[in-house]
């Protein structure tokens, strides 16, 4: 009896590379793809991308860290206001920087809430009113943007001044020495060490922000000018 040779009917599976490379719905890649298609300029893409990143759990955790840091700055500035005679500007730097920093964080939260309202179409309810729907909204957005820019520039300038004040008296005596010829040449250990640590943390965060900004520019090149790759 002749043996019948069994043919392998299993066909090799082909992988759909296009579907695998497409970001899943709701992911950051998918949202960046939509932002890239809807953005009319690089500034629009950067602004919307920062809003998307701020809405993630990492962005929320970073904002919480900044809020805690600014709250501690205000606390140390008030508690040790007269305990750094060698450089009286250090407690003032912490107090003012902490207060304005909390104001900046509040402005970021309000902007994020306003953007979410725009996404779900709450502002469309006033579309029939020309003044409140367009002119007033445009004036409000410009004034808010101007205030954010002013606060940001102040914080950068104030941070630069804080670097000068802190490093000018690098690690001073933590208490007033007895029979010292300079009885005011001292600064409380807690307030100075916190100011020094706060400056180092801010330097790390600024470096991280620069890296994120460069990454956003790379994403803009991919998502704004390569839309044909998604078809």
Q: Does some domain include residue 62?
A: yes
Domain presence at residue 100: yes
Which pLDDT tens digit goes with each residue over 160-218?
Answer: 999 999 999 998 888 876 666 667 789 999 999 999 999 999 999 999 999 988 888 88
> Do 47 and 35 contact (CB within 8 A), yes or no?
no
Contact criterion met (CB below 8 Å) for 177 and 141: no
Residue 12 lies in a domain: no
More confident residue, 170 or 138: 170
Decide which of 140 and 175 is more confident: 175
Report if residue 8 sits inside a domain. Answer: no
pLDDT at residue 135 in the model: 43
Report pTM: 0.73
The pLDDT score that the predictor gives to residue 179 is 65
192 lies in which domain range?
Answer: 37-230
**Of residues 61 and 2, which shows the higher confidence score?**
61
User: What rounded mean pLDDT belongs to the chain?
Assistant: 77
Q: Is residue 171 part of a domain?
A: yes
Name the domain count of the chain: 1
Q: What is the mean pLDDT of residues 36-53?
A: 76
Domain presence at residue 129: yes
- The answer to whether position 1 is within a domain reads no
What is the rounded distance in angstroms from the CA atom of residue 18 to the CA atom of residue 14? 12
222: nearest Cα among 8, 1, 28, 15: 28
Residue with tokens 């920093």: 101
Structural domain includes residue 14:
no
Enter the tokens of residue 94.
């912490």
């Amino acid at each position: 009896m002749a043996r019948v040779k069994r043919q392998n009917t299993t066909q090799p599976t082909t992988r759909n590379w296009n579907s695998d490379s497409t970001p899943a719905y709701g992911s950051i890649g998918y949202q960046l793809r939509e932002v890239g298609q809807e953005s009319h300029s690089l500034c629009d893409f950067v602004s919307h991308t920062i809003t998307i990143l701020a809405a993630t759990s990492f962005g929320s955790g970073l904002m919480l860290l900044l809020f805690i840091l600014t709250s501690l700055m205000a606390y140390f500035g008030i508690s040790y206001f007269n305990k750094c005679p060698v450089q009286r500007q250090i407690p003032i730097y912490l107090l003012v920087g902490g207060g304005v920093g909390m104001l900046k964080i509040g402005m970021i939260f309000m902007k994020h809430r306003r953007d979410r309202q725009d996404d779900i179409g709450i502002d469309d309810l006033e579309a029939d009113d020309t003044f409140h729907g367009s002119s007033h909204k445009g004036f409000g957005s410009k004034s808010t943007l101007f205030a954010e820019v002013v606060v940001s520039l102040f914080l950068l300038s104030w941070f630069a001044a804080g670097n000068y004040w802190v490093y000018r008296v690098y690690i001073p005596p933590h208490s007033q020495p007895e029979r010292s010829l300079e009885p005011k040449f001292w600064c409380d250990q807690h307030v100075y060490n916190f100011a020094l640590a706060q400056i180092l943390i801010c330097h790390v965060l600024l470096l991280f922000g620069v890296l994120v900004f460069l990454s956003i520019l790379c994403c803009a090149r991919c998502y704004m000018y390569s839309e044909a790759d998604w078809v």
